[in-house]
Amino acid sequence: MNFEWQVISNNLFFLMGGLVTTFELALIAIAGGLTLGILVGMGRLSTIKFIYYPATLFVNLMRTQPLILVIFWFYFLMPLILGRPIGGFTSAVIAFTIFEASYFAEIIRAGIQSISKGQIDAAYSTGFTYWQAMRYFIIPQALKNMMPSLITQAVVVFQDTSLAYVIGLREFLRSANVVDAREMRSVELYLFVGLVYFIVCFSMSQVCKKLELKKGNA
């Protein structure tokens, strides 16, 4: 079997364009998913029924759906709701943010629960409000405990973005697919794609390992 690796270098610029889209999508989905996830995770711990039930419904609904279906929903439903077409990228961003938020929310919920109730009593006893107590004491401590799980989830999000392929978004995998259709070099292209995913995800999980070791020492 003979490999023709020039297919990679010849199309490197195009492939890197796809990788940039993948990174953009992943970063927005992680930032948005985490922000929304913090709010939903806090909602899951709320004693107010109007907050607890919608948050719980949201988490259970999202976590019981395949991601690919959620991507379809937003791609086909959003134009109907808005009355105008939205781009593949926008619809993917919305789908990923909302879907990943439900996973981040459960990590956040567990993280907040890992902090003793005494900490919030202590904050209350010196006149802090609920939101201040969360911001200054509970979330900073919880985030530290949750860091390994959050990074693992971020790695998953990065891999998940390849599913945006199905709505024709030209992210990294789709770019390779486009080149393959023209050059017929599937093996080289998909090995290269796999290698890039490996490098990115493996280095992220190494960072995670370092953080866990640091936590163990503290």
Residues contributing to the site for another protein (CB under 8 A) = 116, 118-119, 121-122, 124-129, 132, 136-137, 140-141, 144, 218
Question: What's the min distance (Å) between Cβ of 138 and another protein?
Answer: 10
Question: What's the min distance (Å) between Cβ of 125 and another protein?
Answer: 4
Question: What's the min distance (Å) between Cβ of 134 and another protein?
Answer: 13
Q: How far apart are the C-alpha atoms of 211 and 164, rounded to whole Å?
A: 30
Q: Which is nearer to another protein, 65 or 116 (CB)?
A: 116
Of 148, 153, 161, give the one whose Cα is nearest residue 193.
161
Q: Which is nearer to another protein, 10 or 46 (CB)?
A: 46
Question: What's the min distance (Å) between Cβ of 143 and another protein?
Answer: 10
**Cα 202–Cα 206–Cα 209 angle in degrees, nearest 5:** 140
Q: Which is nearer to another protein, 118 or 216 (CB)?
A: 118
Question: What's the min distance (Å) between Cβ of 210 and another protein?
Answer: 19
Q: Return the sign of the alpha-carbon dihedral for residues 32, 34, 35, 41.
A: positive
Q: How far apart are the C-alpha atoms of 180 and 28, rounded to whole Å?
A: 28
Q: How far apart are the C-alpha atoms of 89 and 28, rounded to whole Å?
A: 11
Q: Which is nearer to another protein, 84 or 117 (CB)?
A: 117
**Cα 130–Cα 152–Cα 192 angle in degrees, nearest 5:** 145
Please say whether the beta carbons of 41 and 103 come within 8 A. no
Q: Which is nearer to another protein, 145 or 186 (CB)?
A: 145
Q: Which residue has the tokens 């079997």?
A: 1
Of 50, 46, 85, 105, give the one whose Cα is nearest residue 168.
85
Q: Which is nearer to another protein, 138 or 179 (CB)?
A: 138
Question: What's the min distance (Å) between Cβ of 120 and another protein?
Answer: 9
Of 5, 7, 2, give the one whose Cα is nearest residue 178.
7
Q: Which is nearer to another protein, 87 or 140 (CB)?
A: 140
Question: What's the min distance (Å) between Cβ of 22 and another protein?
Answer: 34
Q: How far apart are the C-alpha atoms of 103 and 91, rounded to whole Å?
A: 19
